[in-house]
């Protein structure tokens, strides 16, 4: 089974010879740039460089999907946001929101011909022609709620959830239409799957009820309308969203260590493919290859269908740590002894993070009782 068949089968919950390894969010590192001879920020601006750098993750690390573009600013830039393209080791960011009322939302009829959209579409076509059936090409859109936050800003959007809910629904409806159009243009260009980046839907930012009432109806319209498998990426503590994510029609859910895997299996296993959730900072960036290897085995043992970093791969991730993640997937399939006992290194990291919070709560209770 080759890389493309393995990845697409895993997405669709079909049999695979082993779980694929993929970076379904941005996975480009400085080491990859050096090997490809293509660097940020220039790589964002021409289709040749965008395609060439995107392919480096497959060419040099055998990560089993080629993902582009890098970052989440293409749509916002076309709609009028000023963009900071960053440096060789940072991703582009939108500088500030541009609108204060839903009536200001303007989507040009020729959206697909503006800004970097043609660059992305041409880069997808280049990769599809070059790799054909060898490896999957996945591209991404900014989900409607995340894009709304970029365009209107948190200080507008979040209060509107309470004070002007109709504003939010109007915005979400129009941005969902845009997302469908842009995603399907990527599919027509040759993308095998579409990532829906919805970081603003994180449980660290919104409640499950907010997700249910203001976002789920649009995700339920968006996912089935895209003519390729969809990968919904929401990072952070989103365990309480899982029952609703199961209703979206997404093919796959991409998440980080903030999600309770028992809850993910309960709500999604066998219905929605699971991609994740090797911690990007504590493990992939700052950890040793052995820690990466053990964390990867833990993810596989807990039932992920696609082994992946929990979010964007840090640009200075050591190549030996990426190699350890790939090796874990091979060993999981080929060495029965590694499947006998599931490691708990990610669980230990979560508990370690929780201790200071528990200590703070304890101190607050002590002061109240005193």
DSSP letters for 12-80: TT---SS--B--SS----HHHHHHHT--TTGGGT-HHHHHHHHTHHHHHH--S-EEE--SS-HHHHHHT
Mean pLDDT of 62-85: 97
Express each pLDDT in 274-295 by its tens digit.
999 999 999 999 999 999 999 9
Express each pLDDT in 125-156 by its tens digit.
999 999 999 999 999 999 999 999 999 999 99
DSSP string, 259-293: S-HHHHHHHHTTTSEEEEEE-IIIIIITS-HHHHH
- Percent with pLDDT over 70 in the chain: 96
Express each pLDDT in 4-33 by its tens digit.
999 999 999 999 999 999 999 999 999 999
Strand pairing class (230-233; 252-254): parallel
| Res. 361: pLDDT tops 80 | no
| Res. 81: pLDDT tops 80 | yes
Mean pLDDT of 201-215: 97
| Res. 235: pLDDT tops 50 | yes
Mean pLDDT of 34-51: 98
3 state DSSP class of 357:
helix
| Res. 351: pLDDT tops 90 | no
DSSP string, 311-349: SSPPTT--HHHHHHHHHHHHHHHH-GGGGSS---HHHHH
What's the pTM value of the predicted model, to 2 decimals?
Answer: 0.94
- Give the closest residue to 336 by CA, choosing from 310, 303, 297, 306: 297
> For position 131, what pLDDT does the model report?
97
> For position 365, what pLDDT does the model report?
59
> For position 370, what pLDDT does the model report?
45
Average pLDDT, the chain: 95
| Res. 268: pLDDT tops 70 | yes
Cis bond upstream, residue 69 (ω within 30): yes
> For position 354, what pLDDT does the model report?
77
Angle at 141 between CA 280 and CA 1, to 5 degrees: 65
Contact, 324 vs 296, CB < 8 A? Answer: yes
Give the single-character DSSP code of 257: T
Contact, 210 vs 252, CB < 8 A? Answer: no
> For position 147, what pLDDT does the model report?
98
Contact, 180 vs 142, CB < 8 A? Answer: no
Q: Could you give all domains of the chain from N- to C-terminal order, each with its CATH number?
A: 3-344 (3.20.20.210)
Q: Considering all CA atoms of the chain, what is the largest pairwise distance in Å, rounded to the nearest integer?
A: 71
Contact, 252 vs 273, CB < 8 A? Answer: yes
> E strands of 79-162, at which residues?
83-84, 93-94, 137-142
Express each pLDDT in 158-186 by its tens digit.
999 999 999 999 999 999 999 999 999 99
CA distance linking residue 355 with residue 316, whole number of Å: 28
Segment holding 306, helix H or strand E: strand 306-309
- Give the closest residue to 232 by CA, choosing from 206, 204, 259, 251: 251
């Amino acid at each position: 089974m080759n890389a493309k068949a393995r990845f697409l089968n895993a997405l669709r919950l079909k049999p695979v010879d082993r779980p694929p390894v993929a970076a379904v969010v941005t996975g480009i590192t400085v080491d990859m740039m050096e090997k490809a001879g293509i660097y940020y920020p220039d790589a964002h601006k021409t289709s040749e460089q965008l395609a060439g750098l995107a392919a480096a993750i497959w060419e040099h690390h055998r990560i089993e999907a080629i993902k582009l573009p890098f970052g989440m600013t293409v749509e916002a830039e076309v709609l009028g946001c000023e963009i900071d393209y960053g440096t060789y080791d940072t991703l582009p960011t939108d500088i500030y929101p541009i609108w204060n009322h839903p009536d200001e939302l303007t989507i040009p009829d020729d959206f697909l011909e503006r800004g970097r959209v043609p660059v992305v579409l041409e880069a997808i076509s280049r990769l599809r022609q070059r790799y054909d059936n060898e490896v999957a090409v996945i591209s991404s859109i900014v989900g409607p709620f995340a894009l709304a936050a970029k365009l209107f800003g948190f200080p507008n959007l979040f209060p509107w959830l309470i004070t002007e809910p109709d504003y939010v629904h109007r915005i979400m409806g129009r941005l969902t239409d845009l997302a469908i159009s842009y995603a399907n243009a990527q599919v027509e260009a040759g993308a095998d799957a579409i990532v829906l980046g919805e970081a603003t839907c994180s449980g660290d930012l919104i409640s499950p009820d907010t997700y249910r009432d203001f976002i789920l109806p649009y995700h339920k319209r968006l996912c089935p309308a895209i003519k390729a498998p969809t990968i919904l990426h929401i990072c952070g503590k989103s365990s309480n969203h899982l029952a609703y994510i199961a209703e979206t029609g997404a093919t796959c859910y991409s998440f980080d260590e903030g999600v309770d895997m028992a809850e993910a299996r309960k709500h999604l296993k066998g219905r929605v493919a699971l991609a994740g959730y090797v911690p990007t900072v504590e493990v992939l960036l700052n950890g040793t290859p052995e820690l990466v290897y053990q964390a990867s085995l833990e993810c596989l043992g807990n039932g992920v269908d696609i082994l992946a970093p929990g979010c964007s791969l840090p640009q200075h991730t050591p190549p030996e740590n990426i190699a350890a993640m790939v090796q874990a997937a091979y060993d999981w399939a080929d060495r029965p002894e590694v499947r006998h006992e599931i490691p708990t290194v990610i669980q230990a990291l979560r508990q370690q993070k929780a201790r200071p919070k528990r200590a703070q709560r304890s101190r607050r209770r002590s002061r109240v009782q005193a």
